[in-house]
Structure 1
Amino acid sequence: MLDDPERCYQASQSRDTRFDGWFFVGVLSTGIYCRPSCPAQTPKRENVRFYASAASAQQAGLRSCRRCRPDATPGSPEWNVRADVVARAMRLIRDGIVDREGVEGLARRLGYSVRQINRVVTAEIGTGPLALARAQRSQTARILLETTDLSITDVAFAAGFASVRQYNETIREVFADTPSGLRRRAPGSSVNNHPGRTIQTVHLRLPARRPFSSASVFHYLSARAAAGVESFEGSTYTRSLRLANGYCVASLTPDSADAGGPAFVEADLRLSDLRDLSTAVARCRQL
């Protein structure tokens, strides 16, 4: 779709939520990037550029819109179904491979050299694996700041940043704010700390792309539930996940939102290590 900028502009004028995640709208006059359905006034065509990912928009020096929060969109559904090297790379990056093993580990898993991976990913996405992983760390940090009572420093390392300085600089560049500023504007914390235990439960509302038939999806999962790994209780689907730093028990419940509004899935993630949060969210989205 990015091959036709005029089509992208028409889609952004329509504010159709179905285009969210397929591309991102950069507004040069304000220095921000938005999702296509952003309720703000549509900017002039000459002030608009289009990007394949939030990471490529950030790489161009644009900040995330505080109104539509484009970094929280589900992302393009292409990456879940395509089998080419770029789609496989995107799935591995979402799973946290770059944070744990670096671009070298990503290239090794895909059977390519680091140079080849950087070239093919940048050619299609507009930015490389490191920037994509950085964008994911930023979103994970934002989630932790808004939904947990972890200290600012603990959030930095739980999100995968190598240092507090790198964390502060990235948050400032991506959100034009400080970590404490993001936390102050959050509606409230929803973390549940268990005394004497390392497990923490984080409650999230995961946006889903319409049209989204939650009844069909959850019926499919229920009919194929593996004993000892998956279970259903009422309308809640629960699954255990084995992750890089520990384990997670994810409970997913479809949100009973208005059919005409945004679709969400309520997620309660019981994590033994918060560093696995972004990976757990990515796994839940793939179900």
Structure 2
Amino acid sequence: MMDDESRYEAVRGRDARFDGVFFTAVRTTGIYCRPSCPAVTPKRQNVTFHPSAAAAQAAGYRACRRCRPDTVPGSAEWNVRADAVGRAMRMIADGVVDREGVGGLAGRLGYSARQLQRQLTGELGAGPIALARAQRAHTARTLLQTTGLPVTEIAFAAGFASVRQFNDTLRAVYGTTPTGLRGASGTPPEGDGVPLRLAHRTPYDAAGVFDFLGRRAVPGVEEVTGEPGERRYRRTLALPHAHAVAEVGERGGAGWLPCRLHLADLRDLTTAVQRLRRLFDLDADPWAVTDRLARDPLLRPSAAARPGLRSPGAADGAELAARAVLGQQVTVRAARTLTARLVAAYGKPLSAADGTLTRLFPDAATLAEADLAELGMPAARRAALRTVMTAVADGSVRLDPGADREETQRALLALRGVGPWTASYIRMRALGDPDVLLTGDAGVRHGLAHLGGTPDPAAWRPWSSYAVHHLWSVAASAVDG
């Protein structure tokens, strides 16, 4: 836990590790910044600290135009925490408040709107409306500065209820009008879609993430093109309002990956970005992970060799669950082949193909009723897939970003055909849990055998999922060597 004095030392050192962990507000300027802001360090007596951008905005501060604190990676704390506040933050990021209101968010958590307001305000200095408002402002700024869309269209695409609310919010958050924000960015970048920079903390093992996704890319839904170091990951996304095609590049800049989103409905921008962030594990804290795992002599060499290792999540929970069932007791290559057959048979075709991307991954309701005979796999596994998809479709198994991880795992294990590996793998990737140890996984066993030591799983918490990826890497290196 940090106190204000250690936070100020991080600001003095312009320590980017804390960007997104807390925000610095300066009384004399009325501006709030990220800790690594390159501006002259303010005097200690003029500085206050806030746990979220929304809290700084609620206190009357405007975002710094130099360091753009609204573009920092999210706090890794929300990936770790399984309590109501952590779950609420993940759902707000996914756009639940914009789509369902505070009542919908509270209902998903099993709280009243008043209880939720009290908990979030107590910990973050801002309630769900303020947190969602800060997110809408960031979405609006992105669209203003990267597209030539009319301002009115952007207002509603960003989730604002009226143009007046849109104008008032941008003045309060950025200290300027929508036109002023657009003019400050110059000419919008060329090309179709919405160009973005997906921020992350460094170091980031982009090569490892692209290797992982490339080996599992399902034809029709995903592809990885280009040579190592210059690869592009592309995929289709089924989103709340429509579909999208996303493209993420392996080579970015210091602390970001390039992305371009082709959205059929611009209201899906925030949700699409958050799902890509989870897929690429962009909000992780690599320093905390490496510091913890390097204390274990067994993992120390691997942790030192790959300090930016990530644990990729999923773009869609139901999709990942289906892929996990298809991957039971088969190789990654065999699972990819089965999944490609599934997509070809049941995936919804795009209105127009985008290169090799032709379909959306079939939704849970479709697979719950599917025959699946064309997949050429045992009847028991076909039944297990239908069972899991039925549970997801009727809500008895929740795989949304705010799902209770313990409850979801128990519900999965209660289903016929779902064992500990499948339930844990779904929890690790679909729910983004950073603390899952796949004890029965063959790759984990091979990695441990190669290291030749006795594991101490307690020493890896709360980052056991990253330990799994290190062990997979060790096992793969042993085979290649």
TM value normalised by structure 2: 0.56
SS of equivalent to 2:188? coil
Deviation at 1:32, TM superposition (A): 0.4
**Structure 1 CA distance for aligned equivalents of residues 142 and 66 of structure 2:** 16
Q: Which amino acid aligns with 2:235?
A: R
Name 2:238's counterpart in structure 1: 242
CA distance in 1, matches of 2:184, 2:169: 18
Which structure has more helix as a fraction of its residues?
Answer: 2
Distance 1:148 1:76 in 2: 28
| Residue in structure 2 matching 1:254, options 238, 250, 255 | 250
Moved over 4 A (4+): none
Report which of the two structures shows the higher radius of gyration computed on alpha carbons: 2
Alignment of 1:69-148 (within 5 A): 69-148=68-147
Give distance in 2, aligned partners of 1:228 and 1:115.
Answer: 45
For the residues of structure 2 that align with 1:148 and 1:184, how far apart are their CA atoms? 12
Residue aligning to 2:443: none
Q: Which residue among 241, 245, 262 is the counterpart of 1:270?
A: 262
1:256 Cα deviation after fit = 4.4
Instruction: Assess if the C-alpha contact under 8 Å between 1:191 and 1:202 holds in 2.
Output: no
Q: 1:191 to 1:113 in 2, by over 3 A?
A: farther
Q: Aligned Cα RMSD in Å?
A: 1.3
Amino acid at match of 1:241: L
Q: Name the SS for the 2:195 alignment partner.
A: strand
2: distance between equivalents of 1:230 and 1:16? 36
The answer to whether the aligner puts 1:205 opposite 2:204 as a matched pair is no
Q: CA deviation at 1:50?
A: 0.6
Residue 279 (structure 1) aligns with: 271
Amino acid across the alignment from 1:96 = G
Code of the aligned partner of 2:24:
V
Summarize the Cα distance change of 1:44–1:187 in structure 2 as closer, same or farther, 3 Å threshold. Answer: same
Look up the match of 1:48.
Answer: 47
Which residue of the partner structure matches residue 350 of structure 2? none
Check conservation: 2:252, 2:258, Cα contact below 8 A: no
Asked if structure 2 preserves the Cα contact closer than 8 Å seen for 1:254 and 1:264, the reply is no
- Quote the offset at 1:231 in angstroms: 1.6
Q: Which has the higher contact order (CA 8 A, sep 6+)?
A: 1
- Could you tell me which residue of structure 2 aligns to residue 224 of structure 1? 216
In 2, distance between residues paired with 1:56 and 1:242?
32
The letter for the 2-side match of 1:211 is P
* Partner Cα distance (2:235, 2:120) in 1: 32
Q: 2:155 touches 2:166 (CA, 8 Å); kept in 1?
A: yes
The TM-score with structure 1 as length reference comes to 0.92
Please report how far the alpha carbon of residue 192 of structure 1 lies from its aligned counterpart in structure 2 after TM superposition.
Answer: 4.3
Distance 1:136 1:12 in 2: 24
Please list every run of 5 or more consecutive structure 2 residues that lacks an aligned counterpart in the other structure. 280-481
Q: Give CA deviations for 1:181-232 in whole Å, capped at 9, x if unaligned.
A: 0101114213645xxxxxxx11112221112111112222222334433221
Secondary structure of the structure 1 residue equivalent to 2:167:
helix
How far apart, in 2, do the equivalents of 1:142 and 1:24 lie? 19
Structure 1 CA distance, aligned partners of 2:121 and 2:252?
Answer: 39
Structure 1 gaps of 5+ residues are 194-200
Of Structure 1 and Structure 2, the greater strand share is in: 1
8 Å Cα contact 1:64-1:71 kept in structure 2? yes
Q: Match for residue 170 of structure 1?
A: 169
Count of residue pairs brought into register by the alignment: 275
Identity of aligned residues (%): 57
Q: Does 1:188 align with 2:180?
A: no
1:102 Cα offset (Å): 0.5
| Cα distance in structure 2, aligned partners of 1:110 and 1:45 | 39
**One-letter amino acid matched to 1:275:** R
2:73 is matched by which residue type in structure 1?
Answer: P
- Letter of the 2:123 partner, please give it: E
